[in-house]
């Protein structure tokens, strides 16, 4: 059950993926420019607007680059990075809604920063799929499976050894729920399980 050999992207695939990444970056930049214009129209100070953009879209861009970099290195992103990709644009949206002078402006100001959030998530997902295609290894799926296995081991031990019967029953039920999540989304694990089953069938 060895890892599959690495595959390289064809020239056509590289062109298509590059063309898909360009609008993500462009629309993210347009969202930042829109937030800058919105805040400037309220405070009439470019420094204040730049500060809001830096705290919202700028920080989101930094986290997006961290996410893409870690993904291209075959590593999973920490929870703080994944949460920040949604929290920071949400803070910018709330800021825009709070300083708006009307309900209509509040809606527009709140929606604008989400362009950077979607762009960051799109770039991260694209980078992840490229790595999975080339190496056959999904670090994010492995991280999730490792977390599930850790919780499963804890609840199995708790169900077997905890002195309280109610706690044992609760862990037994939770372990059954966790068992359904083991291996979900891990293509390499699925392929290895197919190989094991194939070998058993051949032996039989």
What average pLDDT does this structure show over 107-119? 83
The CA–CA distances, whole Å, from 141 to 2, 76, 157 equal 17, 9, 24
Three-state SS at 122: helix
Whole-prediction pTM = 0.64
* Nearest one of 152, 102, 127, 109 to 20, comparing CA atoms: 127
pLDDT band (50, 70, 90) for residue 188: low
End-to-end alpha-carbon separation of the chain, Å?
Answer: 19
What's residue 134's pLDDT? Answer: 79
C-alpha–C-alpha distance, residues 109 and 191, integer Å: 47
The per-residue pLDDT for range 53-91, each reduced to its tens digit, is 888 778 888 888 888 888 878 777 888 888 888 888 888
**Are the beta carbons of 33 and 49 closer than 8 angstroms?**
no
The rounded percent of the chain whose pLDDT value lies above 90 is: 0
Q: How many helices and strands in the chain, by DSSP H and E?
A: 9, 0
């Amino acid at each position: 059950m060895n890892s599959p050999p690495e595959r390289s992207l064809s020239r056509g695939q590289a062109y298509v993926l590059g063309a898909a990444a360009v609008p993500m970056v462009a629309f993210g930049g347009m969202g930042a420019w829109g937030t800058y214009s919105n805040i400037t129209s309220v405070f009439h100070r470019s420094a204040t607007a730049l500060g809001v953009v830096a705290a919202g879209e700028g920080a989101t861009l930094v986290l997006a680059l961290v996410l893409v970099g870690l993904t291209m290195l075959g590593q999973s992103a920490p929870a703080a990075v994944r949460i920040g990709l949604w929290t920071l644009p949400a803070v910018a949206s709330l800021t825009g809604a709070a300083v708006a002078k009307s309900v209509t402006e509040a809606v527009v100001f709140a929606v604008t920063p989400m362009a950077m959030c979607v762009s960051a998530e799109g770039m991260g997902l694209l980078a992840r799929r490229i790595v999975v295609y080339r190496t056959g290894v999904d670090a994010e799926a492995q991280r999730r499976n490792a977390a599930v296995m850790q919780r499963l081991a804890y609840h199995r031990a708790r169900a077997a050894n905890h002195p309280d019967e109610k706690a044992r029953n609760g862990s037994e039920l939770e372990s059954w729920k966790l068992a359904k999540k083991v291996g979900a989304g891990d293509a390499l694990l699925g392929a290895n399980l197919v190989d094991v089953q194939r070998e058993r069938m051949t032996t039989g």
